[in-house]
Structure 1
């Protein structure tokens, strides 16, 4: 599979750490020390994952080497839907007149984007699609509880759009070498570690410590698995893009793998934890800087639990 174009949308508004002092008693210094977050991107009240996804598509269109109406599969990947019936996938089909596409919604916590990539791979393998559009987006601020001292200060909003083809369209198309995902719902604290219950407290992370430990375990483990399986070593890796859950995860993994921290791309310090779109968003924001033959790993860990990784060769 090949990446034909990427786009993203990040709301302009930022909420800094000082905002939370009166709400949950956490100082700006404490939040930054524990999470690495200084500000977070917050969507306007009238924005949602559907509107943000449309903006991400518009951002990608100038780079798309074919007409968007050629897309025959659209997947919205998110855990914070605005509408669970007319999803962002259906909205895109309407907005851009993509008549001959299947449209569906997929949710698997913070691994939703990588699971969507794997679903696209399946459709391509079955011969049921050849050009796909994945919309990754979360509006965490629609569900956050700002007074929650455990996780109320973590969340940000954003969207990304990835156009994927079965065959290479142009010589510049990065290749998705392999995708790997895994459900980890059998782990002891998995079902309750992170949850989003719209009418019962919103988005919460009561087991943040366990989430941190598991993320530091599975994100590097999955990258190593894919590198070895495909005949690469860590020395071949140009960039490591992890789920943007906590900045402290990055140096932890860097130490485990003995990788220089400059190989780790991130945006959490400015945008906060943007949820299931976070790793895809980092890739899209940096796509213009990648060079031919760069090898990039995307790796995620999310509530539920769920995990996954993929290798991309530019």
Structure 2
């Protein structure tokens, strides 16, 4: 049986760091209010000239370097983003050109904060079935561009960034399984309802969120999908070494960890520094934990996320 394995990770954060104290100068909020409810202290904001594909480029190059591969090796690019450079072509195609990759497929996946889970699951199917040999999977977002910076309910939560992994074919277990779900009946609790018609933006182009409803659904579905992933392999939380969750809210993260019986030190958290970077949050956190040596070969690692749609999912990996 063929598997896909994560051969390298990379990440990128824009230079500008925006703290809660700085936000409090322009929005009716405080550092204490934000941190107590979310665990966030700061987030990073893309420069005016930076596009989502630019952030993705930095993360991808670092992942490729870590994996020891070049543009000539890549035959699949999947970019998870809800903030593409343009309506079309895809951010993946724009990234493909910037990287100098000239073969294989390149396309975007849009599942908001679950995007990296969806993209990784998709790329795994290509690699494990032999349709691709070396895939680049990126989560990249410039969420700062779709925020109403006068709305303290949303603008304090999100940030910009990109994370990437290289997947290569292997005869040894790597990605063990992926578990994806969605329920469009909950589309109204987290959305950007604006669209473009006849050259004009129609509807609200900024993030709208029912925080209480999102929290309630997130706690439920993340507990269910992580158990689903473990049960598929006859495992329990005791068999896990690490959880790398979507970095949205520290309370949601720790609620899922508690249900799995994980200790806080087994959970990779970067939400305090990154904020919610949507599809970029898991690969950003993963790269942090790989590069500081926490995640080692042979470890069992679970990724999990929930996002607008409503979408959610988990991927179980033997590192």
Considering the TM-score relative to the shorter chain, is it more than 0.5? yes
Which residue matches 2:29?
A: 26
Cα distance in 2 between the residues matched to 1:249 and 1:99: 41
Contact persistence 2:116–2:280 (CA under 8 A)? yes
Which residue matches 1:63?
A: 66
TM-score for the superposition, normalised by structure 2 = 0.90
What's the CA shift string for 1:172-210, capped at 9, x where partnerless? xx7111111111213xxx111111237444332331111
Contact persistence 1:68–1:98 (CA under 8 A)? yes
Q: 1:66 to 1:32 in 2, by over 3 A?
A: closer
What's the CA shift string for 1:13-63, capped at 9, x where partnerless? 211112333533112211111111111111111112110011112212322
Query: Counterparts in 2 of 1:133-282, with a 5 A limit?
Result: 133-167=136-170, 175-186=174-185, 190-196=186-192, 197=194, 199=201, 200-282=203-285
Identify the range of structure 1 (32-41 vs 15-24) with the bigger mean alpha-carbon deviation: 15-24
Which residue matches 1:284?
A: 287
- Cα drift, residue 12 of structure 1: 2.2
Aligned residue for 1:66, secondary structure, equals coil
- Cα drift, residue 88 of structure 1: 2.7
What's the CA shift string for 1:106-146, capped at 9, x where partnerless? 11111111111222233346543222111210111111111
Q: 1:163 to 1:255 in 2, by over 3 A?
A: closer
Aligned residue for 1:14, secondary structure, equals strand
Aligned residue for 1:259, secondary structure, equals coil
Cα distance in 2 between the residues matched to 1:242 and 1:203: 25
What's the CA shift string for 1:72-111, capped at 9, x where partnerless? 1111110111123233321232123221111111111111
- Cα drift, residue 311 of structure 1: 0.8
Identify the range of structure 1 (77-86 vs 44-53) with the bigger mean alpha-carbon deviation: 77-86
Aligned residue for 1:292, secondary structure, equals coil
Contact persistence 2:140–2:280 (CA under 8 A)? yes
Q: 1:28 to 1:67 in 2, by over 3 A?
A: closer
Q: Which runs of 5+ in 1 are unaligned?
A: none
Cα distance in 2 between the residues matched to 1:176 and 1:236: 16
Contact persistence 2:57–2:99 (CA under 8 A)? no
Which residue matches 2:46?
A: 43
Give the length in aligned residue pairs. Answer: 307
Contact persistence 1:194–1:203 (CA under 8 A)? no
Contact persistence 2:223–2:256 (CA under 8 A)? yes
Which residue matches 2:318?
A: 313
Aligned residue for 1:32, secondary structure, equals helix
Contact persistence 1:140–1:156 (CA under 8 A)? yes
Contact persistence 1:88–1:135 (CA under 8 A)? no
Aligned residue for 2:37, secondary structure, equals helix
Q: CA RMSD in A?
A: 1.9
Matched, 1:98 2:101: yes
Cα distance in 2 between the residues matched to 1:123 and 1:255: 34
Aligned residue for 2:46, secondary structure, equals coil
